[in-house]
Amino acid sequence: MPDTRIKEDFLGFGLGLRTDHFEHILQHQPDIDWFEVLSENYLVAGGKPRYYLEAIAEQYPVVMHGVSMSIGSTDPLDMDYLKALKTLSNDIQPKWISDHICWTSIHGINSHDLLPLPYTEETVNHVAERVRIVQDFLGRRMLLENVSSYLSYQDSTMDEWDFLSQVAESADCLILLDINNIYVSARNHHFNPLDYLKKIDPRRVQQFHLAGHSDFGDYVIDTHDHDVPPSVWTLYQAALERFGPVSTMIERDANIPEFPALYQELLEAKHIAELTLPENAELARSSFGTRSLDGLNKQISTHYVSQQPVRAKQ
Partner 1 sequence: MSRLVEIQQQFMQYLLSDAADTQHGQIQSIMKANVSEQAGISANDRLQIYSNAYRIRLKETIETDHQLLGVYLGDHLFDKMAADYTRQYPSSNKSLRQFCDDLPNFLQQDDFFKQHPIIADLARFERRLLNAFDAADSPRTSFSDLQAISPEFWPNCCLRFHPSVQIFTCNSNAVEAWQALKVDATPPEPDYQSQRAWLLWRGESRLTEFASLTAAQHALLLGFIQGNNFADQCEQMLEWHNEQSAPLMVLQTLQAWFQQGLIRAVVSN
Can you give the binding site for partner 1, defined by CB under 8 A?
A: 40-41, 43-51, 68, 72-74, 78, 81, 103, 106-113, 115, 117-118, 120, 122-123, 126, 150-156, 188-190, 218-219, 221
CB of 170 to partner 1, least distance (A): 16
User: Is the CB of 5 or the CB of 48 nearer to partner 1?
Assistant: 48
Amino acid 83 reads: K
- From 307, 225, 227, 223, select the one nearest 272 (Cα to Cα): 307
Please give the distance of CA 53 from its chain centroid, rounded to a whole number. Answer: 19
Cα gap 307→136, rounded to integer Å: 45
User: Is the CB of 8 or the CB of 78 nearer to partner 1?
Assistant: 78
CB of 146 to partner 1, least distance (A): 17
CB of 154 to partner 1, least distance (A): 5
Report helix angle 79-92 to 48-59, nearest 10.
50
Beta strands in 160-314 (DSSP E): 174-178, 205-210, 214-215, 220-221, 247-250
Cα gap 225→214, rounded to integer Å: 8
- From 118, 6, 8, select the one nearest 63 (Cα to Cα): 8
User: Is the CB of 47 or the CB of 295 nearer to partner 1?
Assistant: 47
Residues 7 and 204: beta-carbon distance below 8 Å = yes
CB of 123 to partner 1, least distance (A): 6
User: Is the CB of 49 or the CB of 257 nearer to partner 1?
Assistant: 49
CB of 159 to partner 1, least distance (A): 13
Residues 35 and 58: beta-carbon distance below 8 Å = no
CA atoms within a 13 Å half-sphere pointing along the CA-CB vector of 76: 3
CB of 47 to partner 1, least distance (A): 4
User: Is the CB of 115 or the CB of 131 nearer to partner 1?
Assistant: 115
User: Is the CB of 110 or the CB of 170 nearer to partner 1?
Assistant: 110
